[in-house]
Structure 1
């Protein structure tokens, strides 16, 4: 019987058997399932960058997810609204969360467990469910709006390229293209061709981001030139009046947000890092393998950080230099058209079509990366609620497919009701900023209770982890206080 591997690629006959884990009831397990650690799956880690390159991948999925909702929309909007003054926040938000991402992934690689399983271990618990997973479920509701905004942005870009019924922002055209976006995403992901989609989407994101970086660096040669003084003015650690809310949303979205920190662990497992390390038998060989594959994960995280950081800076600079002086702020369904002015005003009208095609690629890749990621997280949450068995390979894959179909429909419906991509994405960003607090707590708890001390980071990394954690906690507290109206906006 043919089935599908956890990586989403088609497989032939799977090797399924009944096993028992930790004295629990027998479950159906696939010996090729990366969530089941066996001695058969052990591989020696590669040494150096050249041998590690083909093992990179989880971070590129993150980059595909991040660039659309964060860089293209939220960061550009921030630059258009505030000018250069919050440039420091862009740099800070992309850099400061990486240490927590790595620490959580370190625990995953050493245990083979995904994030929501770990979150459920952090006390106190509400019945069988940990408090962090309760917060995650609440955050997931607001994320319906954020990713619905991505669906909407994709639909608007498609509608501007090929309007239906005359008016590209009319109800008919927007509705039809939203349906096309949702249905095509479901078909492409459910057809087990995700690896091909992933590679193509990542390639388009990288090319589009490189193009934006080149344009941003070339702006001094256009009528929208910026100076070194403009850039330096954005490094003064100030937040202008009226920009607190959008700055907080940007901090939650740009770089790795709470959702990306969480689903990065699933892709580290499914790439094979944990399976290659094998079950922890306490031996020196296991520790050596763990350190080796964690080193590969470091490289993976670094490459993805470079991609989304340069993309973030470029989009912000273009928003600040091109849109802000003209008083253009992306909003509502006009968001894509406004953002496209960064290209048409600097390169000419011909660049508008190129931008729209690139926007479809960027936002589409975000959507297509989000669907399998959120599907896994929802299924993992149901498992922690006791509704399904995560260890049962067949059951887990069946439910992942169910969410692969259901989530795009829900997200598309949310957009059609609200039709304000920027607002929808910013609401999700605020909730992400608050939930980052819980992720930091979980990362430290799992580090201290389950991560082998011999595979923890060195002094420099630990110092960065402390700085990262403190910054996230302070921003999370401020975000919560701001939402509750306890601080001045």
Structure 2
């Protein structure tokens, strides 16, 4: 009999990185370059497993999240202040901006199935949509439970729905398997695809998930003997997320590559599939987009609350007022951004800068702490350090790209 791993915190990581941003990026990659960039997702999944395994191990062994460990590791007052300011600014600004995208993406799935939900029209605000309020209310209901177990189960359900939707769409389209395996196993870089490759990696390897995973792992498993369960959970959930991304790229490659169909954003995905493969394929994509958006809409505020409560030494209990206040502010900002259709260019600019600096920095912090003597026999091996440094080099490239893009150099 097949024994499945105990599903846990790693599913939260999958729910976080398979959001509307990933759906858009993967769809554009498939539409513009066919199957040729699948290898980038393979690398992304491996890189994510390397970093998230360290984060989970740190959480289980120290029984503290990454935020707490960063605060305790910075003994120099000036370094501690700079680290706190950097993390707080990046988490608040970045997660608020991306939360708007998560809720907008989930709303697009509902729009395709149920049509536009216009709540208010006027001269100053052309349209305020009802769907972001619905999505925000669902996310609020899940987060307000104050129960880690309930939140985890809700996200497992959403990831299951998302998996079925995107994988079903993938199975409904005709796949050129020789092109599929060629793109999966043989790295290639078509002309103009460099930024798309970086984007595919950047939507999977994200700093917020390191905070989320370490904190949630410390709540799920209370002793080091359970590290095996934490790793099994990781090796099941992260590849599942990679498989979903691969399915999205492959579906888009089959439907759109070489066709005269313009795909500019997530709103074009579901309707564009319907005339090519029938209404059912479009509905599956719409449901998947809804599940991806709402799961990320839950995990982004949750990650922010774990990160800030740890770095600021606040109450990190999910049921506490301080913890709830953090995620509520992030959720509220996301709903407002999505409801009025506002595109906060300046906010996104700052988020790019903050995320560009934060990603390699947090990776280096993680590597530093994973070599601490306090971890005993569970500290990093030479092989784990080498792999971690390789990922850091990639994050530095992502950082350079983010900063250059933010300053208009790309």
> Structure 1, residues 126-174: CA drift from partner, whole Å, max 9, x if none?
6373544333233221332212101111223223333357899997775
Output the TM-score relative to the length of structure 1: 0.71
Among 350, 358, 365, the residue aligned to 2:295: 365
Q: CA deviation digits over 1:281-325, x for unaligned, max 9?
A: xxxxxxxxx2x2222211111111121011111111122221233
1:120 match: secondary structure: helix
Q: 1:102 aligns with which of 34, 38, 53?
A: 53
Does 2:34 correspond to 1:83?
yes
Distance (Å, rounded) in 1 between the aligned partners of 2:160 and 2:390: 30
Q: Structure 2: 5+ residue runs without aligned partners?
A: none
Using the TM superposition, give the Cα deviation of residue 123 of structure 1 relative to its aligned residue in structure 2, in angstroms: 5.1
Per-residue deviation, 1:189: 2.5
Aligned with 2:312: secondary structure?
helix
2:227 pairs with 1:294:
yes
Whether the 8 Å contact between 2:110 and 2:131 is mirrored in structure 1 is: yes
Q: For the structure 1 residues 427 and 207, does the alpha-carbon distance in structure 2 shift closer, same or farther, using more than 3 Å as the test?
A: farther
- Report what 2:274 is aligned to: 344
Deviation at 1:75, TM superposition (A): 1.7
Offset from partner CA, 1:225-267 (integer Å, 9 cap, x none): 535146525765444454444433332212x411112211110
Following superposition, the deviation at residue 410 of structure 1 comes to: 0.6
User: Is residue 2:354 matched to residue 1:436?
Assistant: no
Tell me the TM-score normalised to structure 2 length.
0.83
Q: 1:242 to 1:138 in 2, by over 3 A?
A: farther
Q: Tell whether the 8 Å contact from 1:159 to 1:173 is kept in structure 2 after alignment.
A: no
Larger C-alpha radius of gyration, 1 or 2?
Answer: 1
1:82-481 matches, within 5 Å, as 82-121=33-72, 127=78, 129-140=80-91, 141-163=93-115, 175-192=129-146, 195-196=149-150, 198-217=152-171, 219-220=173-174, 225-229=175-179, 231-232=181-182, 237-254=187-204, 256-271=205-220, 273=221, 276-277=222-223, 290=224, 292-328=225-261, 330-331=263-264, 335-336=266-267, 338-341=268-271, 343-383=273-313, 389-390=314-315, 397-419=320-342, 432=355, 434-457=357-380, 461-481=384-404
* CA contact 1:139–1:435 (8 Å) conserved in 2: yes
* Count of aligned pairs between the two proteins: 406
Distance in 1 of aligned mates of 2:173 and 2:111: 29
- Is the partner of 1:129 in helix, strand or coil? helix
In structure 2, the CA distance between the partners of 1:57 and 1:154, relative to structure 1 (3 Å rule), is same
* Alpha-carbon spacing, 1:183–1:476, altered in 2? closer, same or farther (3 Å): same
Helix, strand or coil at the partner of 1:96: helix
**CA displacement 1:176-232 (0-9 Å, x = unmatched):** 222222233223422446644542442342243244335435533xxxx53514652
Aligned CA RMSD, in angstroms, stands at 3.7
* 8 Å contact from structure 1 (residues 189, 368) kept in 2: yes
Structure 1 residues 420 and 72 mapped into 2: Cα distance closer, same or farther (>3 Å)? farther
